[in-house]
Structure 1
Amino acid sequence: MALAKPKINDLEDQRIEILRTFLRSFQLDLVGCMRTERALKELFRLPEFEGVARVTMGLVLAMKRDYSGAEHHLARAATLRGEPAVAQARLSAALHCGRIDVAAALLERAELVQDPSRLRQILTNAMQVGMFGLAEKCVVELEKLKVEPAGEKSGLVAECIPDIRVATSLMAAAGVSERDIVDRVAVAASVVALHAPEHPFVVYGFSATPDAGILYEFPLSLPVGELVELDWKISEALVDTFDDPLSELIGFSTRPFSSSLRCVA
């Protein structure tokens, strides 16, 4: 029993390392995932550690795009530890699985506490779903705290910060709401999630300029021909879903995976 706490900490560290490797290489260590899952199941039998183990299990399954499995374990964890204790894990799981609408709904309820680490996390997640107004609020709060908005471990490169303000100004000039952007990110993301199920979904290229507008890029380890075809599928889905895809304001494209891609992750 005394070894359970160090063990759960080690398993969470293993999950994080699997995720980091996945984001760097775009190759998911399925064997490592299975070993971690097996060890976590042993901790489910220990009441004092079950809740934490369920959260880690949910995040491991989310990396594998098993959203129903992830939600099963996170729901159980919420009954044991309370919903606030699993809120960020639910958000991460939704993003891993391309559930932009779910992630946006969770972010709408997020509290902007005076904690740099938490503000950076919300900032990164807000950019991933297209909630630029929320992202800008986080930047303002971080500047009030006199800390860098894009910290070393935030998953957000510093060069993206000015683009957030460009994006919000473009939206204001066009009379476009945050929900308008989120809905279009959700459609593009759903197409990518459907056609590239083995790729990490939380890595995006992002830029926003007054001339070119807002651009999301999905880096994928696919042949060029498949990337071009996927671009068309995204465009068709946007046209089929919306009377106005807002193509002059926001665009989406795929590109070959490269570790040099400026992104939020």
Structure 2
Amino acid sequence: MSATLDRGAAARAQSTPPQTTPRSGARRRRLAAAGLPLLSVLVFLGAWQLAASSGLWSEVFVPRPATVWAAAVDASTTHDGVRGYQGYLLLEHLYMTLRRVAAGVLIGVAGGLVLGLAMGSVGWLRRILEPWLTFLRALPPLAYLFLLVIWLGIDEAPKIALLALAALPPTAVATTTAVLGAPVGLTEAARAVGANRYQVVRDVVLPAALPEALTGIRLAVGIAYSSVVAAELFNGIPGVGGLVKDASNYNNTPVVLVGIFAIGLSGLTIDALLRVVERRAVPWRGTH
């Protein structure tokens, strides 16, 4: 009898699927989150290598990945008495670009937040300034770069001004929309208990507007970063945009691709950091 029971228990144990623990499920999700992007990179590199090896295009137009890697190493080191590219290492080019972006974004985002808060709170001000913001947002950076160069010269001022003008409209528009979307019930309740205008803005409007304003800041940083090559067209070395422009003058495609990858990878890193800040600043977003 006991032997029969033991055999039945063993059969049930074999037929019962193993239970997935929360820890193993989280591990699988982490592996998938890391593995899928890595797989896409490998597929991209494989397709690139096949395209470069097919002979359909000249090496000038489609260099091999190994050639681009060698150009990245040369731009990052001192070789044959040559230091990096045009006398600056790749990290130094990237540092100057990031410094310009940081200065321009700081000015543009600060101005956009103040402007958006004012436009969202004061109706007549919004009606006056909204067409000008739309006009500025519709302009491509190159449209006013040359005017900035005429006004400010070819040093750092026009580059930072261009990036600030690129970052200001999306921040202002997102902040205005967020302020206008603040819950009316909470605003009226705060006024009913005696809160003044400043307290309503500080304790009700700003917390309600913060999620959408942070999204606008992310968009502003992305738009400013995508304008960095235009900002560094004049006197852009050291700078990744200047590196790309100078290399393109000599059909140096590997160095152009090195600059493009440097801009793209650093942009991904900055956006990931902004998402971390967004999750910590507004942890309640997406929970209701």
User: Shorter-chain TM-score: what band?
Assistant: under 0.3
TM-score, normalising length from structure 1?
0.22
Task: Identify, as 1 or 2, the structure richer in helix.
Answer: 2
Task: Identify, as 1 or 2, the structure richer in strand.
Answer: 1
Question: Which structure has the greater CA radius of gyration?
Answer: 2
Compare relative contact order (CA 8 Å, sep 6+) and give the higher one, 1 or 2.
2
